[in-house]
């Protein structure tokens, strides 16, 4: 009796690659259609999202079995983009920790304006807590440096200042969304509100 030969993976065919490309294209079409539609119509159904994406509802459900799954993916992408924006700030030279914090805040506000989660869902849920923790770890490092430089108030615990920063970013999104403020102007407002009290 001969030993069984190990099973080999089936060779990747051109048709497989085309299917993967099509699946990726469909996924991005769903995301691109969902954000503006949900911004205008927060209760839009998956059928309406499918129609906006130019896809059959079954195609949308293959990627997102439920509306909550789609919202989870939008949150995930928003957090990934926010973390990348803050990391980019940390890797770029700044005149001061306060300037770095302001640029990181502007980056988060720009991401928030791109995804518009505030229009149709909460910005965090149990599935996003790991990303929340990663983002706040980065921000807390910036806040500590800004406090040491005298750019951020020190009369409150760091946890409260971090929570205030998150709340202020969220609060700035509607005026940025309607064009009242730019992301940079909103970030400067946040910086002013977190600044050390003047004697």
Half-sphere exposure of 38 (CA within 13 A, CB side): 26
CATH of domain 15-65: 1.10.10
Q: Give the model's pLDDT for residue 1.
A: 47
Give the model's pLDDT for residue 9: 55
The boundaries of every CATH 1.10.357.10 domain in the chain are 68-199
pLDDT of residue 11: 58
Return contacts of 143-150, CB within 8 angstroms, 24+ apart.
143/101, 145/97, 145/100, 146/96, 146/97, 146/98, 146/100, 146/101, 146/194, 148/97, 149/96, 149/97, 149/98, 150/196
Q: Which residue has the tokens 């927060």?
A: 42
Helices (H), 41-157: 46-53, 57-63, 67-91, 97-115, 129-148
List own/partner pairs for 84-90 with CB under 8 A and 24 or more apart. Answer: 85/110, 85/111, 86/135, 86/138, 86/139, 86/142, 87/138, 89/142, 90/138, 90/141, 90/142
Which residue ranges in the chain fall short of pLDDT 70? Answer: 1-18, 199
DSSP 49-76: HHHHHT--HHHHHHH-SSHHHHHHHHHH
The boundaries of every CATH 1.10.10 domain in the chain are: 15-65
Backbone angles phi, psi at 3, to 5 degrees: -65, 145
- Does the domain made of 68-199 have the CATH classification 1.10.357.10? yes
CA separation for the pair 39, 11 (Å, rounded): 43
For the whole prediction, is pTM greater than 0.75?
Answer: yes
Task: Quote the pLDDT of residue 8.
Answer: 53
The pLDDT of residue 54: 97
């Amino acid at each position: 009796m001969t030993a069984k030969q190990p099973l080999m993976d089936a060779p990747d065919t051109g048709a497989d690659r085309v299917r993967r490309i099509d699946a990726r294209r469909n996924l991005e079409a769903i995301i691109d259609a969902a954000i503006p539609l949900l911004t205008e119509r927060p209760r839009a159904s998956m059928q309406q999202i499918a129609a906006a994406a130019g896809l059959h509802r079954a195609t949308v459900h293959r990627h997102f079995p439920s509306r909550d799954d789609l919202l989870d993916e939008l949150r995930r992408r928003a957090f990934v983009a926010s973390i990348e924006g803050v990391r980019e700030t940390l890797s770029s030279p700044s005149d001061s920790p306060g300037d770095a914090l302001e640029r990181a805040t502007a980056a988060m506000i720009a991401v928030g304006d791109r995804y518009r989660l505030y229009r149709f869902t909460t910005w965090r849920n149990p599935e996003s807590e790991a990303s929340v923790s990663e983002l706040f770890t980065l921000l807390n490092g910036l806040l500590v440096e800004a406090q040491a430089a005298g750019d951020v108030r020190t009369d409150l615990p760091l946890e409260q200042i971090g929570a205030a920063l998150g709340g202020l970013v969220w609060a700035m999104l509607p005026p940025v969304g309607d064009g009242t403020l730019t992301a940079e102007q909103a970030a400067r407002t946040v910086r002013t509100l977190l600044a050390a009290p003047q004697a």
